[in-house]
Structures are given as C-alpha cells and as structure tokens.
Amino acid sequence: MRWSTPLLLGLLLGGPVAETHAEALAPAVHQQLHIVLDPDERRLRGEARVRVEGLETAAFGLAPGYRVTSLRVNGEPAPLGEDNHWRLLLNGHGADIELAYEGRLPSLAAAQAGEARVFLDADGGFFPRDAGWYPYFDEDTRYTYSLTVDTPSAQRVAALGLVEESEREGRRQTRFASSEPVLGIDLFSGPYRVQTLRRDGVTIRTYFTEALAPELADTYLRASARYLAHYSGLIGRYPYPDFSVIASPLPVGYGFAGATYIGEQVLRLPFIPHTSLPHEILHNWWGNGVYVHYERGNWSEGLTTFLADYGLVEARDPAAAAAQRAAWLRDYAALPEARDVPLRAFVAREDQASQVIGYHKAAMVFYMLRARIGESAFHEGLRHFWQEHRLRHAAWGDLRRAFERASGQDLGAFFAHWVDRAGAPRLTVEVAHRDGRLSVTLGQAVAEGEAPYPLLVPLELRWGDERQRRAVALEGRSRTVSFEAPAAQGTLAVDPDAELFRRLWPEEIPPIVRAVTLAPETRLLVAAADEAAREVARTVAAQLGMRLLPVAAGEAAEAPAEAPLLVVGTRAELDALLADRGWTRPEAVAGAGAARAWMDPEAPARLFVEGDDAQALAALGRVLRHYANESYLVWEEGRVGERGVWPVEDSRLVVRWR
C-alpha cells in the first residue's frame, strides 16, 4: 500500500459506462461513525472507523473546515495532509481507516444569507451527504453504516435507519444503521418534537417544532402513509425502513433517501401535503431509489413530475390535467429558441428555462410514451425499471429498454426524437368534405433539414350532438386520412386537449409572466416614491430570476411593444405612470386585492407588478415566480386569490367544414 496526499477526489473518477451494459456495483464502504454535536458552540466532533475492501484505489476526504487530530490506516499512523484529502493505493487489498476530527460550523444566519450550505446552532442543523462531515469517497460510492449521534437532550436528530435513542445526564444518544448500501448519509438536527406512525412495515416520522407539531404532524403522517402505499402499489415496495418529514428553519424543499426537508413556513401552506410532499416521496423511487447518471441526463425530475404533480391531478380531474398540459405548452412557447436544449442535456433545475425542459417537457414525453404503448405496458415498464435498477444508477437508455420489454415495441426512434434533439413540431391541418366523408391532411412543420417527429395525433370530430375521437399516426411530414362524416357541416379539432408536445401557433399563445422572465434581457422600470419602496421593487424583480436592464420611464415608452419590459412599483406611482403612458389595468385586476401582477393583453412582453404599499408588493414578489404560467394574479388576505390566463383567438388547428 502506498500513500499520495493531497489529491482531489475528482481525479479518480472513471469515464462513463456504456448504456448498453448493466452497472457493475463496487464493494460498499462501511462507516462506523460517532458524532458529537454542540449546537450552542456550533461544533462537531467526529470519530470514524472505515472499512474499505476490493478497491484498487481509495480516495476520501473531509470538508476543508475540519481539523483532523488523528489518522491511522491498518493501525499505523498516517500523514494528516493539508487539505483533508487522501488517496490510498490498495491493489485490491482491504484497509481499516480510523479518523478523528473536529470543526466549528457556519450558523443558521449564514445559511439564511446564502453564505453556507451546512449549518449548526440551537435552531437546527443540516448535514447533507456530500458536504464532507464524515469521510466521503466519491459520488458513486455506496456505504453501509452505523452512526451514533450525541446531542443535548433538547435536540433530536434524524437520519435514515433509526435504531434506538437513549438519554443520560442531559445528553441524548441516537443510533442509526443501514446494512443496505446507500449513496451517502444525510443528517438533520433541531429542537424537534417527534411523532410516529407505523404502516405496512415502514415507520413514518415527523420532526416538527413545538409550534408546528400539534397543528400539522397528523396531517403529514397520514398523507405520507397514503402516498407511500400508492407508489409502492404502482412501482414496487418502498426501498427504505423509514420515512421522515423534517421541518427546516430555511425556506427550502429538499428530497433525500428516506426523508424530505421542508421549510417550516412552507409546511404550513395548505396545498403542500397534496403537491410537494408526494413529489418528494416519489423521489425515493426515482432519484434516491434508482440513481441518476447525471452525465447522461436527468430523467428523474420529469418522471416524478409526471407521476406525482401531474398524475395526482389527472386522477382527480381530467379537465384540470388537460389545463396542466396546456400550461406546459405555453411555458415552452415562452422559451427563447437559444435556450432550448435536448432533454438529455438537462442535469438539474438551475433556472426557469431548465425547469421548462427537465420537468415540463420531460413529463409531457412520458405522457406521450404512455399514449403510444398503452397504460398497462407503461406501468409494467416502470416496474421492470425499478426491479432491475433499484439502488443502482440508470440512464435514459435503461428506461427505453424497460418500456420496450414491457410493450414489445421498438422505441428507439421515439427516444431519439424526444430525448436527443431539441425543439418540437408545429402541426398543420387541411380538410375537404365530400359525399359524407371528411378528408383530413395533417402536417408537421420542423426546422429545415430536420427529420419529422413520430407523432400520434389526437383528433376530435364534432357535428350536431356527435363527438368522435380519433388518433392518427403521423410519422412523416404529412399524411391524408379519411373519416365518415355524414353531416354537411361540422368542426375538426387537432390536439384539442394538448396531448402532444408541440410548438403553439402565435394565435394560441396568451401573454404569460414567463414570456418576460425567460427573455434574454428584460428592461426594468421601477415606479416607487421613496428609496425603501424602490429597494423592495428591485428585490421583487430580482426574485423573478432574470437578467434586468434598468431604464427610465421615457426609455420604456420609446421601446417597441414586443421588447420585454417589467414594471414594478407601488399603486400611487403606477397610477401616474399608466395615465401618462396611456396604459391600463385590465378589469380582472383593477381595484382587486392588496397587490397585483398582470401581463398587458395588448403588449405580450409587458409585465406589471404592483402593491398598494411596499409590504404588499414584497409579499406578492415572494410567490410570483411560482405562477409564471399565468397572465394575471391577485394577492389578497395573505394568499393568491384570482388568477388566470387571457383568452386567445381560435386556433388554426380548429377547422370547420360546410
């Protein structure tokens, strides 16, 4: 065995594995950890005993802020190094590593200011698996572990695999263990009250503060049990022994193996148990149960969005599901062409543009895949995928093979078009009616030199009280089909319920907030009387997450109507600005609520955000980005009230014969 120190972990990562081969699992690293937390002093002390077997080379490290006091390998002292990174050349032999370390951690205030990710104080602690709080190898290493955490009695800690708790002399010892190899260990602490529900062999816990627990613990326990049972039946057995809902002092929403970490104020929102919670629970199958090969594209967010966010709406209200699909198409229509990328290029949500592709387009692709192969084969494919790749990494190609196996179809062309290329087709239609038959010519417009998409185009024929649904395969640029249509006049609608991922025609696109927030550069006009209100307005604009170019009122008036413009301010100042420029408030928002946002129906790239005062403006600004596919919304009595999308003209995909 030879030493090399220091060495960055990234230098040891191998190249990508071909998608045609099943993942070869490396031997797991066993961690025996004893962690002492002192929240008042913000200190962590750790002792680690690590067993490594079957590796040619082992590289591991701690975060730079920790001071290593002892390092031994196979009982012998080893160099401490300078940057907390080490490399062992094992030549296939095993090694026992013993490490003692300590460090002072950032405060919650530092995390709230965006200056730190890990934090510890009396109000809570957060230690994600990749933050170097225990000897961490590389991102693909699997661990079995025994973890004991020593805290003051007033503090509770959460991690995957709770075994036992005990108290002695004002200290609490909590032990966790996993004999199933996992990708890492996540640890959470805080002044929590823990409540428990046992269902179907899984222990569900809430780690809530005293202020939150009496009100909401039962709601989250029962909702978690319901969704765990639902997805276990749909996909396969839940992979972990427990699931925890943990309140965070930060306004976040994270998913981990066996846990979700959600801001305390977010948990109070009435819709979270029915939206964010099932999404994060489902990530225990997709993302934290089957791992993502990020270098080959992130499929898990789209699949989770389709089965959780969309799937629950679809089961409850088909009309609302159709509205959700239409909203995804509007979002895509707002995406500048320069920011459009293939699904395979999506790794993580970094901004609104990546969300449109990695969440919305991906969910729509799974919707179209289900329509193509049938619901039974789709669900069978999900179960095949889960059984074969549980607690392993998988890529888009693995999904394709699972659905091919379930359906008996070759899906290579479908995945090549929808995963490996950017863009989407626009549909065209022409009709001719003669002798009781309707001739329909469908077409798809794609960029010059590009191949047509494999489409299954939904049609609806209407005459009198008659409604007939058809689905036409369109593999080339055009196809003509004929249907019996005895009525002398009627209507044909192409994709009336937004079941295809496609580019909308201009008359189908209402002005929505995202049309401004996705623009490459948006002009910002602040209309507020004093510096404090102007600062609030600038903060609201920044929360929308776009590149802004401040302008004066005169410059804004001289710019063309199609140039993106964001106007933010307080009502009195906007009254004067609107009167001066001849702009108006639409009837839907005029005089409504304490704050309002609206797109100008006459200028599809002009967005107004106003509050009766700076406080109301700030409140609306905190939530506006979550409603970016709306044309207008009103903030009243501490919540979003009226909201909607401006009506559009009839689409050219709705044609009449006579």
pLDDT tens digits, residue range 92-146?
788 999 999 999 999 999 999 889 999 999 999 999 999 999 999 988 889 999 9
Mean pLDDT across 496-512: 93
Residue 620 has pLDDT above 60, yes or no: yes
- Total domains in the chain come to 4
Nearest to 540 by CA among 517, 560, 561: 517
The reply to whether 520 and 460 lie within a common domain is no
Nearest to 612 by CA among 592, 632, 587: 592
Task: Specify the CATH number for the domain of residue 541.
Answer: 3.30.379
Instruction: For the chain, count helices (H), then strands (E).
Output: 17, 36
Residue 286 has pLDDT above 60, yes or no: yes
235 in a domain, yes or no?
A: no
339 in a domain, yes or no?
A: yes
Task: Specify the CATH number for the domain of residue 469.
Answer: 2.60.40.1840
- Please give the pLDDT value at position 555: 57
- Please give the pLDDT value at position 546: 67
The reply to whether 335 and 439 lie within a common domain is no
12 — pLDDT class (breaks 50, 70, 90): very low
Mean pLDDT across 246-265: 93
Domain stop point among 142, 170, 191? 191
- How far from 122 is each of 39, 43, 213, 386, CA to CA, in Å? 5, 11, 18, 40
Dihedral-angle region of residue 445 (phi above 0 means left; psi in -120 to 50 means alpha; beta otherwise): beta
The reply to whether 458 and 384 lie within a common domain is no
The fraction of the chain above a pLDDT of 90, given in percent, is: 64
Cα 653 from chain centre: 32
The reply to whether 492 and 519 lie within a common domain is no
The pTM of this model reads 0.88
Contacts of 215 (CB under 8 A, 6+ apart): 268
624 — pLDDT class (breaks 50, 70, 90): confident
DSSP 637: T
The reply to whether 588 and 498 lie within a common domain is no
7 — pLDDT class (breaks 50, 70, 90): very low
247 in a domain, yes or no?
A: no
Mean pLDDT across 511-518: 88
230 in a domain, yes or no?
A: no
CA distance 469 to 460: 5
267 in a domain, yes or no?
A: no
Residue-number span of the structural domain to which 164 is assigned = 1-191
CA distance 650 to 246: 48
Record the tokens describing residue 377, joined without a space: 């084969």
Give the H or E element holding residue 548: strand 548-550
- How far from 371 is each of 38, 328, 499, 515, CA to CA, in Å? 55, 17, 9, 30
pLDDT tens digits, residue range 583-619?
888 999 988 888 999 999 888 888 999 988 888 888 8
Helix, strand, coil % over all residues of the chain, rounded to 5:
30, 35, 35
518 — pLDDT class (breaks 50, 70, 90): confident
Angle at 15 between CA 12 and CA 21, to 5 degrees: 130
pLDDT tens digits, residue range 287-315?
999 999 998 999 999 999 999 999 999 99
Average pLDDT of the chain is 89
Record the tokens describing residue 220, joined without a space: 């989250």
- Please give the pLDDT value at position 20: 43
640 — pLDDT class (breaks 50, 70, 90): confident
Task: Specify the CATH number for the domain of residue 184.
Answer: 2.60.40.1730
The reply to whether 398 and 364 lie within a common domain is yes
263 in a domain, yes or no?
A: no
Residue 22 has pLDDT above 70, yes or no: no
503 — pLDDT class (breaks 50, 70, 90): very high
pLDDT tens digits, residue range 377-399?
999 999 999 999 999 999 999 99
231 — pLDDT class (breaks 50, 70, 90): very high
The reply to whether 453 and 551 lie within a common domain is no
pLDDT tens digits, residue range 401-423?
999 999 999 999 999 999 999 99
Domain stop point among 145, 170, 191? 191
333 in a domain, yes or no?
A: yes
279 in a domain, yes or no?
A: no
Task: Specify the CATH number for the domain of residue 299.
Answer: 1.10.390.10
The reply to whether 397 and 521 lie within a common domain is no
Burial of 149 (0-12, 13-18, 19+ CB in 10 A): buried
pLDDT tens digits, residue range 532-577?
878 888 888 887 776 667 766 555 555 666 678 888 888 888 888 8
The reply to whether 384 and 322 lie within a common domain is yes
The reply to whether 19 and 133 lie within a common domain is yes
pLDDT tens digits, residue range 162-207?
999 999 999 999 999 999 999 999 999 999 999 999 999 999 999 9
Nearest to 556 by CA among 566, 546, 568: 566
CA distance 152 to 158: 14
The reply to whether 3 and 123 lie within a common domain is yes
**HEC profile of 556-623:** HHHCCCCCCEEEEEEHHHHHHHHHHHCCCCCCCCCCCCCEEEEECCCCCCEEEEEECCHHHHHHHHHH
Mean pLDDT across 452-475: 93
DSSP 130: T
The reply to whether 564 and 609 lie within a common domain is yes
pLDDT tens digits, residue range 481-491?
999 999 989 99
Domain stop point among 191, 207, 239? 191
- Please give the pLDDT value at position 178: 94
